[in-house]
Structure 1
Amino acid sequence: MKLQSTRSEQKHLSVAAYNGGFALVREARYLKSDGPVEEVQFLDVAERVETDSIIVKGLDVLEQNYDYDLVSKGKLLERYINRHVHVRNNETGEELEMRLLSVSECIIGERADTKEIVIDPAGELILPALPEGLLLKPALVWKIAPAEVDQEIRVSYLTKSLEWHAHYTLEIKDNGFQFDGWVKILNRSGAHYEKAELALVAGDVHRELEMNNGDSPILYSRMQETMVTAEALPDRLVYRINRPVTIMNEQLKQLSLFSAYGAQVKRAYQVRSGDTHADVQIEFPNSSENGLGMPLPEGVVKVYEAGDSGETFFTGEERIEHTAPGKNLRIHIGKALDITSDSHEKLREKHGVHEYITYVYKLENEKAESIRLLVEHVIFDPIWEMESSSHDYERKSSSKVEFVVRIQPKATVELEFTYKADNRREGRDY
């Protein structure tokens, strides 16, 4: 006896989506039969299921198959080769019985009465009952020892083509901001997940499989007022959506993570050697005072700012890394047209085994307000020491130094510094 199980018998469903474009599906169903069962057909599974990931609890499975030989015209007709079918003439109502010989390029049959060969007979093709074993939906097929079934089973598996990404919008007005976090979930796994417990796993998980995440979505939907909790997993973070979520196949769903309002936002400007204009960065802490204070998953932040008229414009975007509570968010949104830089090497002198190199940055602020400008300079000499500097600085690494320059409105400032390089390790002769 064969027993079919569909999602109508589902008692529990959970989906854990991963950044890598795959998901862990877990469900529980109650199975009950009227007699001994030797085959269970577990229907309504994802078409992109990874068959080597399936775990079954509650059944003693002897053999497992993934059957996706679904009903189509070609596959259906192939099941009737060498069987008798009928062709009905819709005008006269007469029926022709024939033995089906081939369906590869056209329908070829042998008349039952005259044994004549008929090619593409005109009329309505009538087939006997659906052949046993041809499924209407993809199914996991399990062979079990014959026995009556009256129990709950739990099944888990990985499926490809279900992915999630975080993204954010930041709207700045009057030195305050609104920061909204969203999650996009794209389901092309070939299955519907109705009223599922949804978890989002952040972090890189090593996979041996090539992931194919599909193309653009077909349906877009949004859920509001979604509550999210974050919990720790070894070397990962899990975000739980605290409400049942339905994710249909071929659907892009957008879930609200949070909406935060804060006032602790500032602008930072930075130039590097070779830059002609300063980079603009928006910075604020991931803190409870700013309505945040939760781990933020990696994602793209789109920034909108109000101009003098009060109208809001898009001003830039950048991908942020995973940001822990208490850390600062720094978003680079582009270049400032009214802060310029012109840098060059002013002097290079040799004294024995040392070289003395002087650099100059001409920095101009055309804004109507004063600014704080960070100047990052990279020194490629392996051994060096700062000799003099016109402004405060901090050595960020063995090769990187950062200067702090404050510039008044409509003013120009020159940053000049000299460092001493020891070139003995490079084998130079002096």
Structure 2
Amino acid sequence: MKQNKMLLYALLVIVVLSIAFSVATYNTSGNGDNEQSVQPSVASTSGSFEDLMEMTAIENTNNDLQLTIYSGNFALVKEKREAQLEEGYNYIRYSDVPTRIEPSSVILEDTGDNGISVIEQTYRYDVASKSGLLETYTGREITVYDADGKQYTGTLLSYRDGLILQTAEGVISLSETSRIEYPDSGDLLTSPTLIWQLYSPISGNVEMLTSYLTNGIGWDASYVIKTDADETTADIEGWVNIDNNAGTSFEDATIKLMAGDINRQSAQKAYDSMAYEVSAEEAAAGSFDRESFSEYHMYTLNHQSSLQDKQSKQISLFSKDNVPVEKELVYDSWGGDRISISFTLDNSEEEGPGVALPAGVAKLYQPDSEGQLQFAGEDRIDHTPVGDNIRLTAGYAFDITGERKQVDYERIGTNRYRNTNTITISNYKETTEDVVIVERLYGDWEITESSHPYTKQDANTIEFKVEVPAKGDVEVTYTSLYNY
């Protein structure tokens, strides 16, 4: 009787377990219209990060590269590469990235909208080096040869102040070594590398677009201005100078240059050759296509070009001949007794370059008596829009000087006074010269007397234009009344 009860109890337990198993199976797989696919969780992947990376990492082939370089010594890099993905989780290794990349700026996009999602991104910059290898192999077995060539094999315990090994014979310390052998390892990197963990709902070849900012790439503009003998026209060449110190090379890139002041926060931590790669025809027409972008100007190189690491490259921006130029000798008392040599060039579409000119240094060349060009000075010009003038100061006149004196001062009220100034321009040359005299005024002023006509330039500036005879002087005197 007792045995029958035990048998009945056992059968009841089996029935209950069978029902529970059936319910669990139904809830997991579903049926009919309620069926759902279940993605494996991240925790379901097996093996260490390095093991997974070594098994599934794909070295992608460069497909399309674009650089937008800013004058603030940084660039936006965009590159399309193809990756062979498996359905499920994948580790993608993206090598040869700049050492000065900003990791937080990296964006990875699936150009085909295949539903690929990024789970994790890692930037590894522990590139193989002696100290890096020793740090990587601490706790692992290496083989060391001392200065006499004796071999030791053991676990590296420390590499500070000499190597300490745990060998079969015990712990030894080596202060001098002639050679170190490391077992082959798949997790050593020869260049900085980005690694992504992706989930892909499909298998196959997928195009991925990677975008990131990197420091160490910059550009600026420079100009060569060659005047004719009578200094009334000039030939102008504009050049773009690109410096790549980002820590990697960029091959066959589409290059865009952004001109303007881009606001940036503090940058993250993170000339070996010179190349002229444009033909004479390209140089004459200019190598860049220009367009407005937001409140900036963008210049696109009309052919692909390569930038090697630690390379400076010059590319033609434009070339324009017979641009009208006006030379002026300017005396500004704020600059002492020197007379500056100033040139103004037309940047109109009709007679000038007719393009938006990024800021840069302009070098001036002029012909001597034999027609040979000589360097005559340089100046930095500001961003110059179309229709404005290009202005630069080349240097200071040798044979013309200026002097300013206050010859009278009178207080004529509590908040009023009057003073008289005299400016003397002396010309020691054999030819007559025209000089512009710039005077700075302040407050509420009025010119009550003047020996020469003047023009008001703005609220605080007036100009006199005088002709100074050869070997002679011109004296300009004016009286001003101030209220304050």
Q: Which band: TM-score by shorter chain?
A: 0.7 to 0.9
* Higher Cα radius of gyration: 2
Counterpart of 1:377?
Answer: 439
Deviations along 1:360-412, one digit per CA (max 9) or x if unpaired, are 112223333333321111123x1121112222212222222111212333332
Alignment of 1:131-150 (within 5 A): 132-145=186-199, 148=203, 150=205
Match in the other structure for 2:417: 355
DSSP 3-state at the match of 1:265:
strand
Partner of 2:105, secondary structure, is strand
TM-score normalised by the chain length of structure 2: 0.78
State the alpha-carbon separation in 2 of the partners of residues 318 and 123 from structure 1: 56
Indicate the SS of the match to 2:102: strand
Opposite residue 334 of structure 1, the aligned amino acid is G
From 223, 226, 232, the equivalent of 1:171 is: 226
Q: Deviations over 1:163-213 (max 9, x none)?
A: 11111121223233222211111111111111101011111111111489x
Bigger share in strand: 1
| Structure 1 residue 122 displacement after superposition | 7.3
Give the aligned partner of residue 428 of structure 1: none
Question: How far apart, in 1, do the equivalents of 2:81 and 2:419 lie?
Answer: 75
Residue 104 of structure 1 pairs with residue 166 of structure 2: no
Quote how far apart the aligned CAs of 1:349 are: 3.4
Report Cα offsets for 1:26-66 as digits up to 9, x if no partner: 11111114675431111111111111111111141111111
1:37–1:149 contact (8 Å) kept in structure 2: no
Spell out, residue by residue over 1:259-314, the C-alpha distance to the aligned partner (whole angstroms, 9 max, x if none).
22115122101112263231110121013454511111000111122222333322
Structure 1: distance between partners of 2:421 and 2:178: 90
* Structure 2 counterpart of 1:295, from 356, 370, 387: 356
Aligned length: 413
Whole-Å separation in 2 of the counterparts to 1:203 and 1:337: 37
The correspondence for 1:64, drawn from 121, 145, 148, is 121
Contact 1:366 1:410 in 2 (8 A): yes
Q: What CA distance in whole angstroms lies between the structure 2 residues aligned with 1:298 and 1:211?
A: 26
Residues 95 and 311 from structure 1, CA distance in 2 versus in 1: closer, same or farther, beyond 3 angstroms?
closer
Counterpart among 282, 286, 296 of residue 347 in structure 2: 286
The corresponding residue for 1:386 is 447
Paired position in structure 2 for 1:415: 476
Deviates more, 1:119-128 or 1:185-194: 119-128
1:272/1:375 contact within 8 Å kept: yes
| Residue deviations 1:84-143 (CA, integer Å, cap 9, x gap) | 445689x99x9765344333333333444xx3334449786443321x432222111112
Counterpart of 1:376, as a letter, is: V
Question: What is the deviation of 1:346?
Answer: 2.1
Give the corresponding residue for 1:256. 316
Is residue 446–residue 481 contact of structure 2 (8 Å, CA) maintained in 1? yes
SS of aligned partner of 1:367: coil
Residue 192 (structure 1) aligned with residue 274 (structure 2): no
Q: Which residue of 1 aligns with 2:300?
A: 240
Change (3 A) 1:276 1:97: closer
Conservation of the 8 A alpha-carbon contact between 2:345 and 2:352: no
SS in 2 for 1:75: helix
Contact in 2 for aligned 1:318/1:332 (Cα 8 Å)? yes
SS in 1 for 2:324: coil
One-letter code aligned to 1:204: D
Q: Distance in 2 between matches of 1:98 and 1:413?
A: 92
Return the letter of the residue paired with 1:302: K
The alpha-carbon distance between structure 1 residues 386 and 80, as it changes in their structure 2 partners (threshold 3 A), is closer
Secondary structure of the equivalent of 2:133? helix
- Name the aligned partner's letter for residue 104 of structure 1: R
Q: For 1:74, what is the secondary structure of its paired residue?
A: helix
Separation (CA, whole Å) in 2 of partners of 1:299 and 1:187: 18
Match for residue 117 of structure 1 among 161, 166, 171:
171
Is residue 275 of structure 2 the alignment partner of residue 218 of structure 1? no
Is contact 1:199–1:239 with CA below 8 Å preserved after alignment?
Answer: yes
Alpha-carbon spacing, 1:211–1:342, altered in 2? closer, same or farther (3 Å):
farther
The match for 1:47 is 99
Distance 1:251 1:101 in 2: 42
1:77 and 1:421 map into 2 onto residues whose CA distance is 77
* 1:11 to partner: Cα distance: 1.5
Aligned-pair Cα RMSD in Å: 2.8
Whole-Å separation in 2 of the counterparts to 1:273 and 1:80: 70
Deviates more, 1:80-89 or 1:395-404: 80-89
**Unaligned segments of structure 1, at least 5 residues:** 426-430
1:30 corresponds in structure 2 to 82
Whole-angstrom CA distance in 1 between matches of 2:406 and 2:298: 50
Contact 1:357 1:419 in 2 (8 A): yes
| Structure 1 pair 344–11 and aligned structure 2 pair: CA distance change class (3 A) | same
1:221-269: CA deviation from partner (whole Å, max 9, x where unpaired) = 2223351111111111111111101001111111121222115122101
Q: How does 1:297-316 map to 2 (within 5 A)?
A: 297-316=358-377
Over the matched positions of the two proteins, sequence identity in percent amounts to 29
The residue that corresponds to 1:346 in the other structure is: 407
Instruction: Name the SS for the 2:312 alignment partner.
Output: strand
Are the structure 2 counterparts of residues 107 and 362 from structure 1 closer, same or farther at C-alpha, using a change threshold of 3 Å?
Answer: closer
CA contact (8 A) 2:85 2:206 kept: no
Give 3-state SS (helix, strand or coil) of 1:295's partner.
coil
| Structure with greater helix share of residues | 2
- In structure 2, distance between residues paired with 1:331 and 1:349: 39
Q: Distance in 2 between matches of 1:111 and 1:318?
A: 69
Find the counterpart in structure 1 of residue 63 from structure 2.
11
SS at match of 1:48: coil
Match of 1:157 in 2: 212
